[in-house]
Amino acid sequence: MGDETHHHVIVGGSAAGISAALALRRHGFAGRVTVVEAGHELPYERPPLSKALAGGEHAFLHAILPRQAYAEHRITLLPATRALAVDPRRRAVELDDGQTLYADRVLLATGVLPRTLPVPGAELAGVLTLRDVRDARALAARLRAGGPVVVVGGGFIGLEVAAVAREAGLDVTVVETGARPLEGPLGPVLASRVTALHERAGVRLRTGVSVAAFTGTTHVTGVRLTDGRVLPAATVVVGVGVRPDTALAEAAGVLCDDGIVVDRHCHTSVPWILAAGDATNQPHPHLPTRGRIEHWDNAMQQGAVAGAVLAGVLESHTALPYFYSEQYGRTLQMYGRPAPGDEFVPRAEATSAVDSVDPAEADEPEDGGFLGFWTREGVLVAAAGLDRPRELRAARTLIERRVPVDAATLASPTTDLRALARTSAPPGPSVARLRSRPQTRSPHAGGTSGTSLASGKEAP
């Protein structure tokens, strides 16, 4: 029997918001749960939007939960509805359809907005960003119309779009201001391995340069670079990062600083307002300083913590940061987050002589993927790899348990990471907390249960 007297309102029906709604029920909250979502579709997964563009809408539009699950869990979903304001005096959420929702507590899971480039021509037709399913539909149609395609920004989403467009046979150029794409998150060694995949596929890279203007009259026809060159373009995809959507929070008097500032329990500076997901600036035991984590798994995990806290169970968000990316049918995964000053240790290839494992010379066969690690004060803090899921799962355990491990051990191709993980010290109290994760997992999650909310699919 439901409790009609208590009501929690969640603004934002995506990974964090839906995960929170389910966690509320899992933790026994019997009152009303309302999710307000500006998008028109049933809440869906964003990661396929950049990976399955060529396969049509059925390939890139995956609901997080089937429609009937909302009724089963007594979650009132208000799609195509925008929250205009959170009124701190009345504890109310005002909606664009004229309704006012009174709430015991409000969870802000408003996510991020794509950055655009403030250059001439940015408003031309054919200059696109990719954040939601409408963007994906528009981009899919542009890719069907043919190239050339210019991707501005060599981040994960930009490179995934470049891979899809190239696989569709289009002429693709990636423009990156840095020395090479992905150098920020992966460091120069692994970034160059990913970049090589694109070069082998025929993607042109223009690095160390940025965009001066987009050319064309109504539709984009070219991209003028800061070095004066002009790249012909029928479609431009701008993937230059995101900014947290803090408008509602700021207007409600919630402290924001490069995101909605939260503690480990998703509390904001206003006691009855919580926040989770990409929009938050969070303290995290696996980050060197507080910051934002813009990954699907984080949104799911942090959303689940918010749901527990809303239900009266004081959980903390400590799950190890995890993300994955898919390019050319290859899967890149990363656990943890390196910090400046960490030691990078590439894993040597299996054919290397065991006694000559020099990290600087370490390499992997071209199609065998690769592995790399980061250590801090002799402890493994992050690991990334291409097509190496089993070793990465073992590395995840070592990172979570903060196991001391030296560079030579990590670099050696004969080190059995899984055996090392099995024999590492049993979890202490902090690890026990890490293990008490929600049962629900995204298909993109690297966690233990590894199943999707929607489909029960195994994690990659």
Ligand X SMILES: Cc1cc2nc3c(=O)[nH]c(=O)nc-3n(C[C@H](O)[C@H](O)[C@H](O)COP(=O)(O)OP(=O)(O)OC[C@H]3O[C@@H](n4cnc5c(N)ncnc54)[C@H](O)[C@@H]3O)c2cc1C
> Judged by CB, which is closer to ligand X: 363, or 387?
387
Write each residue from 14 to 33 as x if it is in contact with ligand X (CB under 6 A), else as -, in one continuous string. Answer: xxxx----------------
List binders of ligand X among 104-133 (CB under 6 A): 109-112, 130-131
> x/- contact string, 226-265, with ligand X (CB under 6 A)?
-------------------x--x-----------------
Should residue 268 be labelled a site residue for ligand X when binding is judged by CB under 6 A? no
Site for ligand X in 341-400 (CB under 6 A): none
Told to check if 266 binds ligand X by CB under 6 A, we report no
Contact call for residue 282 and ligand X (CB under 6 A): no
- Taking CB under 6 A as the rule, does residue 297 contact ligand X? yes
Question: CB 374 → ligand X: shortest distance, Å?
Answer: 18
- Among 171, 176, 183, 294, interactor with ligand X by CB under 6 A: 294
- Residue in 82, 224, 402, 457 binding ligand X, rule: CB under 6 A: 82
The nearer residue to ligand X, 191 or 225, going by C-beta atoms, is: 191
Closer residue to ligand X (CB): 95 or 398: 95
Q: Return the number of the residue (85 or 122) whose C-beta is nearest ligand X.
A: 85
**Six-digit token string for 367:** 């199609």
Judge whether 207 and 179 are in contact, CB under 8 Å.
yes
Confirm or reject binding of residue 181 to ligand X (CB under 6 A): no
Q: How far is the CB of 47 from ligand X (least distance, A)?
A: 4
Cβ at position 239, least distance to ligand X in Å: 9
Among 21, 23, 50, 459, binds ligand X (CB under 6 A): 50
Which of 39, 288, 291, 450 is close enough to bind ligand X by CB under 6 A? 39
Contact partners, residue 12, CB within 8 Å, separation at least 6: 35, 36, 37, 108, 109, 110, 111, 277, 279
Check residue 338 for interaction with ligand X (CB under 6 A).
Answer: no
To ligand X, the closest distance from the beta carbon of 441 in angstroms equals: 13
CB of 293 to ligand X, least distance (A): 8
Q: Is the CB of 352 or the CB of 388 nearer to ligand X?
A: 388
Q: Is 11 in the site for ligand X (CB under 6 A)?
A: yes
Task: Give me the least distance between CB of 100 and ligand X, in Å please.
Answer: 14
Per CB under 6 A, 46 contacts ligand X: yes
State in angstroms the smallest separation of the CB of 201 from ligand X. Answer: 19
- Total chain residues near ligand X (CB under 6 A): 38
Q: Which is nearer to ligand X, 13 or 346 (CB)?
A: 13
Site for ligand X, residues 436 to 455, rule: CB under 6 A: 444
Report CA 402 to chain centroid distance, whole Å: 24
Burial 38-60 (b: 16+ CB within 10 A, else e): bbeebbbbbbbbbbbbeeeeeeb
- What residues line the site for ligand X (CB under 6 A)? 11-17, 36-39, 46-47, 49-50, 82-83, 109-112, 130-131, 157, 245, 248, 277-279, 294-297, 299, 323-325, 444
